[in-house]
Amino acid sequence: MRFLASLVIFSILILPACQKDQRPDFLNGSWQAYRYERADSAALEDYLSQIQLDIVLHNHYHFSSTLDYEEAGTFRLSDQYFLVTDTTREPRQEKRMRIRALTSDTLILDMMENGEDRTLNMRKVYSPNPPE
């Protein structure tokens, strides 16, 4: 009986932690924009190939975009949110994006920028963890 109680406690405490670790690994890799939705999105259509997000182990990211914009730092996941903190600039502020969809090859993020709703659609162009 004591073994069964220990097994139940192990399952409750350890297995959910293992499941949480799988989701960041699923994000690992390089993502490239293929669609960006906002009121004046036509201006960005020619530059989508310049928008890239690299997710690496230990919750670090690097983002590059148009006009030589770059940022890098740490990220964390909280429920359906992808939270990033750029550690290359002061003051450090956390940005929140809602993960609308995440599959092995597609990442769709909803965000607010300058008071406007934006949606960034990305496809995976490199994965360090090939499918089994």
CA distance 35 to 108: 9
Residue 82 covered by a domain? yes
pLDDT in tens, 26-37: 789 999 999 988
Distance in angstroms (rounded) separating the CA atoms of residues 105 and 127? 9
Rounded to whole angstroms, how far apart are CA atoms 48 and 70?
Answer: 15
Could you tell me the CATH number of the domain that includes residue 37?
2.40.128.280
CA distance 17 to 114: 36
As for how many domains the chain has, the answer is 1
pLDDT tens-place string over residues 51-104? 999 998 778 999 999 888 999 999 999 989 999 999 999 999 999 999 999 998
Q: Beta partners for 95?
A: 84
Q: How far is CA 90 from the centre of its chain?
A: 22
**Residue 110 falls within a domain, yes or no?**
yes
The whole-angstrom separation of Cα 32 and Cα 48 is: 8
In a domain, 132, yes or no: no
Calculated CA dihedral for residues 25, 27, 30, 36, nearest 10 degrees:
180
Range of the domain at 12: 2-126
Examine the pLDDT at 9 and tell me if it is beyond 80. no
Is residue 131 domain-resident?
no
Say whether pTM exceeds 0.85.
no
